[in-house]
C-alpha cells in the first residue's frame, strides 16, 4: 500500500483501516481540479524561485499527461492510493522522478483538498445555474402562450379564484429566479482561494497566494489559514440552495401529478415522459414527476448530513471532513438530472384548455367577483358576502353555476342584481380586471414577460458574471 508517510511508522496500515480511511474511490471527481490546482501551485513556486524552471516544466508536463492518460483510460485511477492527492503525486514521481517529490513544497493535503472541493463545487454551481436558465426559457414559452388559458386558482386545495396558466407558471418563474440568485450569492462568497494555508498555519516559504488565486479565477486569497482549511460553509450553503430548488421542483411535480390525473385532466404528459403499467393496460403514469418529488429526500439528506458532520469539528482540519464529498456529489448529480428531465417533461406537456376553463367556471371561482359586483352597486362588502353565500348554496342545491341562473333567480336572492352581472362574473372579466401588480390580468403578465425576457437575455454564465477573468 502506497502511503505518504513512512519515517514515523514501523508498520503498514491495516487493510481494513486503509479501506475505511481511503477516499480514492470517490475522489476521481476531483482529479482534474487537483491537477489544475497543482499546476497553478508549481507555476507559482517557480515564480518565487522555490522550483527551477526545468522542475516546473517537468511537473506541468507530467501533470497534464496524467490527466490525459486517466481520461483516455491509459492510466487506471486505482492502485491502493489513499486519495487523489497521493495518487497524483505518486504517478508524477514515477514519471518525472525527483522533481515530482518537490511539488508538495509549501502545501498540505488540507489546503489542497479545500481547494479541489471549492473548484469542483464552483463549476457545478455554474452548471446548475445554466440548467435553471434552460428551465426558465421553457417557462417563458408556456407563459407567453397561455395568457388567457383560464384555470382555477386553489387555496386549501379548494377552487378559490380564477387565474391563468400564465399566472400560475409565473409563480414558478419567480421561485427559480430566487434560486438562481442564491447560487450567485454562494458563488461570490466562496470565491476565495484557500491554497497556501498549508496544514492549518500557513508556511514559511514565500508563497504568492494572490497569484495562485488569480490563476485559478478566484477573487483573491482567503484571510485566515485555519478557517481556510476547515471551511465547508459553501457546501452547506449549496446543499441548502439545492434543497430549496428541489422543494420547488417537488411542489411543481405534485401539481403536475394532480393535473395529469383522470380526476383533473388539466394536462397530458407526453408519452415520451410517461411510463405504463405491467398489468393495467390503461395506465399512463407520471413517473418523472414522482421521481423528482421523491429524489428531493436525498438532497435534503445531503444537507442534513453535512450540517451534522461539521457541527462538532474543532479547528482546524479533521478527517470527518472527508464526509463532505459523497453526498454532495450525489446531490449535485441528482439536482442536475432532475432539472434537466423536469424541463423536458414540462416543455412537452399539453394543456387541456377547455377542461381547465370548465373547471374554473364550475367551482364558484367567480363568487368573490359577484360579491364585488354588489359592493360596486352600494352593498357593504360583509352583506354582499352573505348574499353571494346564499346564492352559492342555491346553486349547489340546483346544480348550477352563478352565471347559469336566470335574472329572476338572482333577483329572488337580491334585487340589486341587474343583467350586467353576467359579464361581470365571466372568466375573462374576472381575470382581466385583476390588475393589481402581481395579479393574473394579461396586461400585468405582459409587463412581467418583458421583465423575464430581459432577465433571461442578461443571464450570462455565472462564472462570467461574478468572477475576475481567468488567466
Residues that bind ligand ARG (CB under 6 A): 23, 83, 109-110, 113, 317, 319, 321-322
Shortest distance in whole angstroms from residue 319 CB to ligand ARG: 6
Closer CB to ligand ARG, 104 or 400, in the complex: 104
Shortest distance in whole angstroms from residue 333 CB to ligand ARG: 18
Distance of CA 114 to CAs 58, 219, 322, 362, Å?
25, 16, 10, 59
Closer CB to ligand ARG, 91 or 168, in the complex: 91
Is residue 49 annotated as a catalytic residue, yes or no? no
Phi-psi region of 281 (alpha: psi -120 to 50; beta: other; left: phi over 0): alpha
Shortest distance in whole angstroms from residue 63 CB to ligand ARG: 18
The single-letter DSSP state of residue 158 is E
Q: Which residue has the cell 421542483?
A: 249
Going by C-alpha positions, the residue among 46, 81, 50, 44 that lies closest to residue 66 is 81
**Distance, CA of 261 to CA of 259 (rounded, Å):** 6
The single-letter DSSP state of residue 164 is E
Residue 268 has phi, psi (to 5 degrees) of -130, 125
Shortest distance in whole angstroms from residue 23 CB to ligand ARG: 4
Q: Buried b vs exposed e over 295-315: b needs ≥16 C-beta within 10 Å?
A: bbeebbebbebbeebbeeeee
**Distance, CA of 121 to CA of 234 (rounded, Å):** 8
Shortest distance in whole angstroms from residue 202 CB to ligand ARG: 16
Closer CB to ligand ARG, 48 or 322, in the complex: 322
Phi-psi region of 156 (alpha: psi -120 to 50; beta: other; left: phi over 0): left
**Distance, CA of 232 to CA of 114 (rounded, Å):** 8
Closer CB to ligand ARG, 198 or 286, in the complex: 198
Closer CB to ligand ARG, 319 or 437, in the complex: 319
Query: Which of 49, 85, 86, 156 is flagged as catalytic?
Result: 156
Neighbours of 94 (CB within 10 A): 11
Is residue 277 annotated as a catalytic residue, yes or no? yes
Catalytic (active-site) positions: 156, 277
Amino acid at each position: 500500500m502506497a502511503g505518504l508517510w513512512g519515517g514515523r511508522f514501523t508498520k503498514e496500515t491495516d487493510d481494513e483501516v486503509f479501506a475505511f480511511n481511503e477516499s480514492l474511490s470517490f475522489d476521481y471527481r476531483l482529479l482534474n481540479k487537483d491537477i489544475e490546482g497543482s499546476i497553478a501551485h508549481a507555476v507559482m513556486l517557480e515564480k518565487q524561485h522555490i522550483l527551477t524552471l526545468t522542475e516546473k516544466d517537468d511537473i506541468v508536463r507530467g501533470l497534464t499527461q496524467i490527466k490525459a492518460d486517466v481520461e483516455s483510460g491509459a492510466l487506471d485511477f486505482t492502485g491502493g492510493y489513499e486519495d487523489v492527492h497521493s495518487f497524483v503525486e505518486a504517478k508524477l514521481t514515477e514519471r518525472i522522478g525527483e522533481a515530482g517529490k518537490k511539488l508538495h513544497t509549501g502545501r498540505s493535503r488540507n489546503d489542497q483538498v479545500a481547494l479541489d472541493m471549492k473548484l469542483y463545487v464552483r463549476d457545478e454551481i455554474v452548471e446548475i445555474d445554466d440548467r435553471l436558465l434552460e428551465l426558465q426559457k421553457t417557462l417563458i414559452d408556456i407563459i407567453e402562450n397561455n395568457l388567457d388559458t383560464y384555470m382555477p386558482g386553489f387555496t386549501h386545495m379548494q377552487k378559490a379564484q380564477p387565474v391563468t396558466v400564465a399566472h400560475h407558471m409565473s409563480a414558478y418563474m419567480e421561485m427559480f429566479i430566487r434560486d438562481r440568485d442564491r447560487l450567485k450569492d454562494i458563488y461570490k462568497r466562496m470565491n476565495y482561494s484557500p491554497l497556501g494555508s498549508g496544514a492549518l498555519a500557513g508556511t514559511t516559504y514565500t508563497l504568492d497566494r494572490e497569484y495562485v488565486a488569480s490563476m485559478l479565477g478566484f477573487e483573491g486569497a482567503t484571510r485566515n489559514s485555519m478557517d481556510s482549511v476547515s471551511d465547508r460553509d459553501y457546501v452547506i450553503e449549496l446543499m441548502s440552495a439545492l434543497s430549496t430548488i428541489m422543494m420547488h421542483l417537488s411542489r411543481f411535480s405534485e401539481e403536475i401529478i394532480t393535473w395529469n390525473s383522470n380526476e383533473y385532466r388539466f394536462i397530458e404528459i407526453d408519452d415520451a415522459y410517461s411510463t405504463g403499467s405491467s398489468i393495467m393496460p390503461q395506465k399512463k403514469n407520471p413517473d418523472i414527476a414522482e421521481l423528482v418529488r421523491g429524489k428531493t429526500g436525498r438532497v435534503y439528506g445531503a444537507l442534513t448530513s453535512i450540517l451534522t458532520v461539521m457541527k462538532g469539528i474543532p479547528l482546524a482540519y479533521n478527517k470527518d471532513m472527508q464526509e463532505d464529498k459523497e453526498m454532495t456529489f450525489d446531490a449535485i448529480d441528482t439536482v442536475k438530472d432532475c432539472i434537466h428531465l423536469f424541463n423536458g417533461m414540462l416543455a412537452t406537456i399539453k394543456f387541456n384548455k377547455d377542461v381547465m376553463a370548465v373547471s374554473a367556471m364550475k367551482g364558484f371561482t367567480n363568487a368573490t367577483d359577484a360579491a364585488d359586483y354588489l359592493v360596486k352597486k352600494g352593498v357593504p362588502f360583509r352583506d354582499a358576502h352573505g348574499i353571494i353565500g346564499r346564492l352559492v348554496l342555491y346553486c349547489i342545491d340546483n346544480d348550477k353555476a352563478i352565471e347559469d341562473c336566470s335574472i329572476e333567480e338572482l333577483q329572488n336572492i337580491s334585487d340589486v342584481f341587474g343583467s350586467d352581472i353576467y359579464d361581470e362574473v365571466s372568466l375573462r372579466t374576472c381575470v382581466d380586471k385583476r390588475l393589481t401588480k402581481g395579479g393574473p390580468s394579461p396586461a400585468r403578465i405582459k409587463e412581467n414577460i418583458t421583465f423575464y425576457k430581459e432577465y433571461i437575455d442578461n443571464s450570462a454564465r455565472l462564472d462570467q458574471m461574478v468572477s475576475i477573468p481567468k488567466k
